[in-house]
Amino acid sequence: MADGRLRDKVAIVTGGGSGIGRAIALRFAEAGARVAVLDVATDAAKSAVEAIAAAGGTAASFSCDVTRAAEVEAAFAAAGERLGPPDILVTSAGVAHVGTVESTSEADFDRVQAVNVKGVFLCLKAAVSAMRGRGGAILNIASVASTMGLADRFAYSTSKGAVLTMTYSVARDCLGLGIRCNCVAPARIHTPFVDGFLAKNYPGREAEMFEKLSATQPIGRMGTPEEVAALAEFLCSDEAAFITGSCFPIDGGFLTLKG
């Protein structure tokens, strides 16, 4: 695998076993990084590592429930021993939820916040500690839901709003440490979650509903995980050394052209 803009970097990607996280892990490895794939789904993490190895890259998988501090600390320590201290963190682990404030149960709300907010917090804490004295780049996966009201996404929007403001806070606090922190805000991205959601809620109408959801992006389609990964690669590279405390929509015009 040819060296690229992330040559000799060590990257930790949470939720790297599937969807956007997997695409980022593969892209970073292709760009020359040694990649630690952290995921609660161990088989998916191993599959991502196998794909990276088959393409000539270097990666290792680590089982990690990001809602548990002890598991996060252990995974970061193991990744450091195996691949070296992290230069990059991407917090892609997350869960979705459909529901209004009335229809969202306490248990569902707690689950979404535990993964999407506490999980990001614990990984940010571990990464900043590991990068102190060395510098590094952190990229959080936020959402268009971070800054606008989406129907039936109460718990999810709440969590992604927190991801956005955590990004700003860490960027501010780490200005003197050489640690940059940014986030991306995707709109609808075609991941396995989308296919599962359609199969569960619209059996027999998957193709019809896929086209309907795709059309909600002004550009006329959903994004791909690989497109998010391309943006992530740039933001985590030295070419983006002047960028911190920023949120980058990748949304087919959803935030600015819809209506």
**Which mean pLDDT values do the consecutive 10-residue runs of the chain (259 residues) have?**
82 98 98 98 98 98 98 98 98 95 98 98 98 98 95 96 98 98 97 86 91 92 97 98 98 90
For residue 200, the model assigns a pLDDT of: 85
**How far, CA to CA in Å, does 251 sit from each of 111, 115, 191?**
26, 23, 14
Residues 236 and 201: beta-carbon distance below 8 Å: no
Same domain, 127 and 202: no
Q: Is residue 1 part of a domain?
A: no
Distance CA 198, CA 206 (A): 5
Q: Is residue 4 part of a domain?
A: no
Which candidate in 156, 158, 191, 251 is catalytic?
A: 156
How many independent structural domains does the chain possess? Answer: 2
**How far, CA to CA in Å, does 207 sit from each of 97, 211, 224, 254?**
21, 6, 17, 21
Known active-site residue 202 = no
The pTM (predicted TM-score) of the whole model is 0.96
For residue 71, the model assigns a pLDDT of: 98
CATH number at residue 141: 3.40.50.720
For residue 244, the model assigns a pLDDT of: 98
Same domain, 112 and 207: no
Question: Going by C-beta distance under 8 Å and a sequence separation of 6 or more, which residues neighbour residue 82?
Answer: 36, 60
Same domain, 95 and 201: no
φ, ψ at 232 (rounded to 5°)? -60, -40
Q: Is residue 199 part of a domain?
A: yes
For residue 220, the model assigns a pLDDT of: 95
Strand order in the sheet with 179-186: 58-63, 34-39, 10-14, 88-91, 136-141, 179-186, 247-250
Question: Going by C-beta distance under 8 Å and a sequence separation of 6 or more, which residues neighbour residue 114?
Answer: 67
Domain containing 195: what range?
A: 189-222
